[in-house]
Structure 1
């Protein structure tokens, strides 16, 4: 089959739908909430990306493939930080694409205060906010446009 099946959507459509549900934060806004304890900053990047790009000190490292299980307040695999449906989760990925989809998935669980960082870790680092680890990568991730 070469044509799109009925009901199928493009990733651009899915991303736009996810972002319509979020009140996204600029890096400085996310840092302010995180630094005063008003939100949990959750880095969902794979270990290889964190090793190549660096990390945000104090962020929770929860890779994308287990995020919903760790934050479902009714789930058995939840983290101690998953204290209820009103927890503020600020999701961080490399460039702010995957984090939007992840934050929308947290909305599906009932965590309606979940959001993400516009531009992701790269925008965070470009804004001069605290990071540790590796030097800045040379080029944007070609996965995204």
Structure 2
């Protein structure tokens, strides 16, 4: 009999193993090829915080509902189980867990950006201020 690991750290390890986490530059390339960048930072719902051009802000608690193609509450872009979603948060842990959950719910191409927004900004990629596309 095998013992199943439990707890937050185990969940992060499991999510890390099952996801194809992207670097910020890879995330930018995927966005250019049609992937949706999804900002799950709570602070992103407030005006004035820096964000990523073209990213959609969705409350972490509503994420699966808003991206489920069968939900009446989905965003218009969530029209296929095959859609590519690249989630990001501030540092990468919340978006990693969220992407893992989306995969368990059938969105098999969901992933996350390693290092989150902090890594994006640190890579010198373009950021915007105060123009968030909030879909919560």
- Deviations, residues 74-133 of structure 1 (Å, cap 9, x unaligned): 212111111111000000100000000110111012111110001000000000111022
TM-score by length of 1: 0.80
TM-score by length of 2: 0.85
Structure 1 unmatched ranges of 5 or more? 1-5, 135-145
Match of 2:11 among 14, 19, 23: 14
Note the C-alpha offset of 1:37: 3.5
Match of 1:101 among 82, 97, 101: 97
Aligned residues: 128
Note the C-alpha offset of 1:49: 7.8
Match of 2:78 among 74, 77, 82: 82
Superposition RMSD in Å: 2.1
User: 1:1-145 residue pairs with structure 2 within 5 A?
Assistant: 9-34=6-31, 36-47=32-43, 53-133=49-129
Note the C-alpha offset of 1:52: 6.9
Structure 2 unmatched ranges of 5 or more? 131-136
Q: Which has the larger radius of gyration?
A: 1
CA distance in structure 1 between the aligned counterparts of 2:5 and 2:17, rounded to whole angstroms: 19
Distance 1:128 1:86, change over 3 A: same
